[in-house]
Amino acid sequence: MSRAEAGRAQDTAGPRIPVALSSASVYPLAVHDAFAVAADLGYDGVEVMVTNNHDSQNPDALKTLRERYQQPVVAIHAPTLLLTQQVWGKAWNKIMMSAAMAAELEASTVVVHPPFRWQSGYAENFATGIRRIMDDFGVTIAVENMYPWKVRGREAKAYLPHWDPRPYDYEHITWDFSHAASAGVDSYEEIQLIGDRLRHVHLTDGLGGSWDDHLVPGHGQQRCAESLQHLAESGWDGVVVAEVSTRKAKGAGEREELLGETLDFARRHLGHSNIELSEN
């Protein structure tokens, strides 16, 4: 049985946690390629990271891709990265446009990063503002855990109020395993502490240190398998999204191999099925 066929098989043991593919996982390819790869491998949907790519900003283009590849858009990643500061203008506009597009595409979640330190006015009202936008558009906005930036071995304050969303008044959190590795925290322990505030997961891995690796899960130091098993056993009802780096892949075959391995890892440890996968 192929991965795609296994992905369509129903798990009789209980609710099935969807496993989607982030369009960031095919970078530097375009969002169109993310939908094609997700369909080919049998993912359950796509998280669209809004970038300079026109299709990633265009709900009509995304609807076309959604229908062509039969891959729902499960989340919108707002353009709150350092490299997307010119996309959709000011900070609050980025969040509102992302929420509006998520609502139009029937994507339940918007992923955002904490404010940067130079966005002081935006940061001051961040928790209140995202609650208001959630109410206005009927979507969940989940703040992603980041990691400390270091300059010459010393931590530089890059985010306000902090790179770690856990201690702050955010209703919903996105957890990224690679960012956790860079921050030196154990995802398995932290996911349990976050509890019901955890709404979204970026499945990847990391070796720690200052570099944000975004490795295939199982290739780093995070307890990814135990974390997924915990989510499945606890009846968690969010979405697991593969967000691994394939920038060094030598062609489509190697990229699909890495993303296929990630999907297999997720399904195995989420307990989706006892079906043995094959490559045919």
Instruction: Report the pLDDT value the prediction gives residue 149, as an integer from 0 to 100.
Output: 80
Distance CA 70, CA 72 (A): 6
Res 151 pLDDT > 60: yes
Tell me if 138 sits within 8 A of 101, measured CB to CB. Answer: no
Distance CA 279, CA 259 (A): 13
Categorize the per-residue pLDDT at 103 as very low, low, confident or very high, splitting at 50, 70 and 90: very high
Q: Where are the domains of the chain?
A: 19-270
Categorize the per-residue pLDDT at 120 as very low, low, confident or very high, splitting at 50, 70 and 90: confident
* pTM of the complete model: 0.90
Backbone phi, then psi, for 164, in 5-degree steps?
-100, 115
The residue among 51, 133, 67, 56 whose CA lies nearest residue 100 is 133
Query: Which one is predicted more confidently, 3 or 142?
Result: 142
Res 104 pLDDT > 70: yes
Categorize the per-residue pLDDT at 5 as very low, low, confident or very high, splitting at 50, 70 and 90: low
Q: Residue holding tokens 């001051």?
A: 124
CATH architecture of 19-270: Alpha-Beta Barrel (3.20)
Strands 154-156 and 149-151: antiparallel
